């Protein structure tokens, strides 16, 4: 297949080129326009589930996608990257060229080592997707948790499905949006039967393009013009613990439900996300290697409008996150990992990867940026120190 270019009419000219096996992406490319073009070519890359998510940031923060079950983290599908180093030189990092730098990228993100100018990503065959949102009222939550547990145990064997449980408040009552995704044009995949057949407040489940599903997510998550913040943590999968976390979230957030938009999201860290990098020889920088079973990633989010509420919101979120971690510890299910793309600025993401990973990341940073330019002069991002 001949390579193709696409130029987007945005402030930064963004380009990408693709063959049937790889796509080369420049900074500034967002997930939606990229996949709209790839879909027409019968291929698909890992990317955020929101149309407006930037591709490079998604990748270097780890990346949870519709392809997480078969493909692992988004960054597990990064084949090569061009980086401008602190000395002004450009290097290509991959498995054979600067492999130490390439290995460090999942743990430190590109921002700790250089400026990414080009990413090459693995592509997957694509014929369409099945998915959408199935919203369920609180009166059916016992069934929701039971069916989610059934789904979770079936995920290992299925190896393709993707699901987010998104609890939020509507009219002062909790509801859950079950955001389902299956990376094939298969109507009603059986693994979702128990969940999709629950009585719904509304349902958008259908066969469609991935970019269309991402547009739907973007319409729900759009918080432009408002203030928002997140908190993330990880636990070993345990349905009884998840029920307890949900009850804690309800007790904590209900008094504020009329003032703030609050959500409690549950994602799987799939077996592939735990073992794919190690099996392919790069190693798991997140410290998650282990049994062939999923872990659970939790994201707490709050959207609000008034700057005067900033301190209250931050304190509320931090307190809730700390209580959930303590609860997970009581169950013996606490996992120290912090997912960079969902983390709060107060969370020490890099340290959560473990001492061995942190030591390696600092060694690589000192090798490629001995004066610490990207640690001291670059604003933002989770630093190594």
Ranking 38-47, 199-208, 219-228 by mean pLDDT, the lowest is 219-228
pLDDT of residue 88: 95
pLDDT band at 11 (very low <50, low <70, confident <90, very high): very low
Task: Examine the pLDDT at 18 and tell me if it is beyond 90.
Answer: no
Q: Give the pairing type, strands 78-84 and 90-93.
A: antiparallel
pLDDT at 211 exceeding the cut of 50:
yes
Write the DSSP string, 205-273.
-EEE-HHHHHHHHHHHH--TTSEEEEEEEEEE--HHHHHHHHHHHHHHHGGGTTTSEEEEEEEEE-HHH
Query: How many residues does the structure list for the chain?
Result: 385
The whole-model pTM stands at: 0.92
Which of 148, 337, 333 minimizes the C-alpha distance to 236? 333
User: pLDDT averaged over the chain?
Assistant: 91
Quick one: pLDDT at residue 108? Answer: 83
CA 357, 363, 366, 369: dihedral to nearest 10 degrees? -50
Above 70 in pLDDT, residue 19?
A: no
Predicted local distance difference test score (pLDDT) of residue 9? 34
| Side-chain half-sphere exposure of 145, counting CA atoms within 13 A | 16
User: What pLDDT score was predicted for residue 31?
Assistant: 87
pLDDT band for 3, please (50, 70, 90 cuts): very low
CA distance 245 to 385: 32
**Given this model, what pLDDT does residue 369 score?**
96
Kindly report, residue by residue over 333-374, the tens digit of the pLDDT.
999 999 999 999 999 999 999 999 999 999 999 999 999 999
User: Is residue 152 over pLDDT 70?
Assistant: yes
pLDDT at residue 22, as a whole number: 92
Residue 82 has which token pair?
């061009």
DSSP conformation class of 359: H
Q: Assess contact for 112 and 384: CB atoms under 8 A.
A: yes
Given this model, what pLDDT does residue 278 score? Answer: 67
Query: What is the rounded distance in angstroms from the CA atom of residue 156 to the CA atom of residue 161?
Result: 9
DSSP 85-108: -TTS-EEEESSSSSHHHHHHHHHH
Quick one: pLDDT at residue 378?
A: 84
- Summarize the chain as % helix, strand, coil (round to 5): 40, 25, 35
pLDDT band at 60 (very low <50, low <70, confident <90, very high): very high
Domains of the chain: 16-125 (3.30.465.10), 129-342 (3.40.462.20)
pLDDT at 317 over 90: yes
12-50 core/surface letters (b: 16 or more CB in 10 A; e: else)? eebebbbeeebbbbbbebbbbbbbbbbbeeebbbbbbbb
Per-residue pLDDT at 264 exceeds 90 = yes
Report whether pLDDT(235) > 90.
yes
The string of pLDDT tens digits covering residues 68-117 is 999 999 999 999 999 999 999 999 999 999 999 999 999 888 899 999 99
With a cut of 70, say whether residue 281 has pLDDT above it: no
| Choice between 362 and 18, residue whose per-residue pLDDT is larger | 362
Residues 6+ apart with CB under 8 A from 101: 83, 91, 93, 113, 364, 368
Residue 27 pLDDT > 90: no
In the chain, the percentage of residues whose pLDDT exceeds 90 is 78
Considering all CA atoms of the chain, what is the largest pairwise distance in Å, rounded to the nearest integer?
60
Indicate whether 10 pLDDT > 70.
Answer: no
Nearest-5° Cα angle at 225, 46 to 382: 50
Q: End-to-end alpha-carbon separation of the chain, Å? A: 45
**What pLDDT score was predicted for residue 6?**
35
Mean pLDDT of 263-292: 85
pLDDT interval class at 7 (50, 70, 90): very low
Angle value at C-alpha 201, between 150 and 52, nearest 5 degrees: 85
Q: Which residues pair with 129 in a beta bridge?
A: 208
Calculate what percentage of the chain has a pLDDT beyond 70: 95
């Amino acid at each position: 297949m001949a390579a193709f270019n696409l130029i987007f009419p945005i402030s930064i000219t963004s380009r990408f080129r693709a063959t049937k096996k790889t796509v080369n992406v420049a900074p500034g490319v967002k997930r939606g326009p990229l996949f709209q073009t790839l879909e027409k070519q019968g291929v698909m890359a890992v990317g955020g589930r929101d149309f407006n998510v930037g591709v490079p940031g998604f990748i270097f923060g780890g990346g949870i996608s519709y392809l997480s079950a078969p493909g692992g983290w988004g960054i597990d599908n990064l084949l090569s990257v061009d980086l401008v180093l602190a000395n002004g030189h450009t290097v290509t990092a991959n498995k054979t060229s600067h492999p130490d730098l390439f290995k460090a990228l999942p743990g430190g993100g590109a921002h700790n080592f250089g400026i990414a100018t080009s990413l090459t990503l693995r592509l997957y065959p694509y014929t369409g997707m099945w998915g959408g949102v199935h919203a369920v009222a609180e009166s059916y939550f016992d069934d929701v948790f039971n069916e989610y547990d059934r789904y979770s145990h079936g995920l290992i064997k299925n190896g393709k499905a993707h699901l987010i449980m998104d609890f939020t408040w509507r009219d002062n009552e909790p509801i859950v949006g079950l955001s389902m995704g299956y990376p094939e044009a298969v109507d009603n995949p059986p693994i979702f039967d128990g969940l999709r057949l629950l009585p719904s407040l509304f349902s958008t489940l259908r066969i469609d393009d991935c970019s269309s599903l991402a547009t739907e997510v973007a319409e729900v998550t759009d918080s432009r013009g408002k203030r928002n913040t997140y908190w993330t943590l990880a636990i070993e999968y345990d349905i009884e613990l998840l029920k307890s976390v949900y009850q804690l979230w309800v007790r904590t957030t209900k008094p504020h439900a009329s003032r703030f938009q609050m959500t409690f999201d549950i994602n799987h860290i799939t077996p592939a996300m735990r073992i794919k990098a190690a099996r392919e020889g790069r190693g798991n920088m997140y410290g998650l290697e282990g049994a062939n079973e999923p872990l659970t990633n939790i994201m707490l989010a709050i959207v609000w409008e008034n700057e005067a509420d900033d301190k209250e919101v931050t304190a509320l979120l931090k307190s809730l996150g700390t209580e959930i971690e303590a609860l997970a510890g009581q169950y013996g299910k606490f996992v120290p990992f912090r997912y960079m793309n969902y983390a709060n600025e107060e969370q020490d993401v890099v340290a959560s990867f473990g001492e061995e990973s942190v030591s390696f990341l600092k060694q690589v940073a000192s090798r490629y940026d001995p004066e610490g330019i990207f640690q001291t002069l670059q604003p933002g991002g989770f630093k190594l120190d």
